[in-house]
Amino acid sequence: MTNTYRDLGIVQQDEEDFVDILEERRLSSDLGFAFRTFSPPPHKGPPPCTNAELHRAVLDSQYLRYVTKEVQPFFKDAALRCGDVNNRS
C-alpha cells in the first residue's frame, strides 16, 4: 500500500533532486535498518558563501529591517525610562 505522488499521477519537476531516505527501510527488515550505518547523500544546495557575503546578506535582509523598525520604539521607551531612573539618583 504505497501512497505516493507517482501513484496519483502527479510527478514532481525536481524528482531527480528528491532523495528517498526511507527507501532502504521499506525494502529491508526492521533489525537490518536499525543496525545500518547512516551515510546521507552529499548536500546539493548552493555553494557556500564567505563570512562577509553572509554578513552582508543578513544586514540587507528586508525582514531584519522590518523587525528593527517594529522593535525600535520599545528600545527608545526603555532608554528614556533608564534615563529617568539615572536622573533621580
Q: Select the more confidently predicted residue: 23 or 68.
A: 68
Say what the pLDDT of residue 6 is.
Answer: 54
Q: Select the more confidently predicted residue: 15 or 41.
A: 41
Can you tell me the distance from the alpha carbon of 80 to that of 85, in angstroms, rounded to the nearest whole number? 9
| Residue pair 4/31 in contact by the 8 Å Cβ criterion | no
Say what the pLDDT of residue 61 is.
Answer: 92
CA dihedral of residues 44, 41, 28, 30 (deg, nearest 10): -100
Q: Is the pLDDT of residue 15 over 80?
A: no
Query: For 28-82, what is each residue's pLDDT tens digit?
Result: 777 777 787 888 778 777 788 899 999 999 889 999 999 989 988 888 877 777 7
Alpha helices in the chain (DSSP H): 23-27, 30-34, 51-59, 62-88
The grid coordinates of residue 13 equal: 519537476
Can you tell me the distance from the alpha carbon of 82 to that of 89, in angstroms, rounded to the nearest whole number? 11
